[in-house]
Amino acid sequence: MVFSSITFLYGFLPLILLAWFVAPKSMRNWVLLLGSLFFYAFGQPSFVLLLLFASVSNWAFALRLSRTRGTKGARQILIAAICVNLLLLGFFKYADFLIGSVNQVLGTAIPLLHIPLPIGISFFIFQSMSYVIDVYREEVVPQRSLAQFTTYVALFPQLIAGPVVRYGDVEQGLRNRSSSMNQLYSGVRRFTMGLAKKVLIANSMDELCSAFRGANEQSVLFVWIYALAFTLQIYFDFSGYSDMAIGIGQMLGFRFPENFRYPYSSRSITEFWRRWHITLGSWFRDYVYIPLGGNRKGKHVWLRNLAIVWLLTGLWHGAAWNFALWGFLYGLLLMVEKLFLGKYLEKSKVLSHIYVLFFTLLGFVIFNADGMGGMTRDLSSLFGLSGLPLWSAETSYYLNSYFLTLVIAIVGVTPLPKLLAQRWEKKPVMTILEPLAVGLLLLMSTAFLVDGSFNPFLYFRF
Catalytic residue among 114, 277, 300, 317: 317
Judge contact between 50 and 84, C-beta under 8 A: no
CA 315 to CA 323: how far, in whole Å?
A: 6
CA 305 to CA 286: how far, in whole Å?
A: 12
Measured in degrees and rounded to the nearest 5, phi and psi for residue 143 equal: -80, 120
Residue type, 374: G
Judge contact between 326 and 363, C-beta under 8 A: yes
Cβ-based burial of 45 (10 A; exposed 0-12, middle 13-18, buried ≥19)? exposed
Cβ-based burial of 288 (10 A; exposed 0-12, middle 13-18, buried ≥19)? middle
Query: Is 317 one of the annotated active-site residues of the chain?
Result: yes
SS (H, E, C) the chain: CCCCCHHHHHHHHHHHHHHHHHCCHHHHHHHHHHHHHHHHHHHCHHHHHHHHHHHHHHHHHHHHHHHCCCCHHHHHHHHHHHHHHHHHHHHHHHHHHHHHHHHHHHCCCCCCCCCCCCCCHHHHHHHHHHHHHHHHCCCCCCCCCHHHHHHHHHCCCCCCCCCCCCHHHHHHHHHCCCCCHHHHHHHHHHHHHHHHHHHHHHHHHHHHHHHHHHCCCCCHHHHHHHHHHHHHHHHHHHHHHHHHHHHHHHHCCCCCCCCCCCHHHCCCHHHHHHHCCHHHHHHHHHHHHCCCCCCCCCHHHHHHHHHHHHHHHHHHHCCCHHHHHHHHHHHHHHHHHHHHHHHHHCCCHHHHHHHHHHHHHHHHHHHCCCHHHHHHHHHHHHCCCCCCCCCCHHHHHHHHHHHHHHHHHHHHCCCHHHHHHHHHCCCCCHHHHHHHHHHHHHHHHHHHHHHCCCCCCHHHHC
Angle, in degrees to the nearest 10, between helices 181-196 and 220-251: 170
Q: How many CB atoms lie within 10 A of CB 78?
A: 21
Catalytic residues: 317
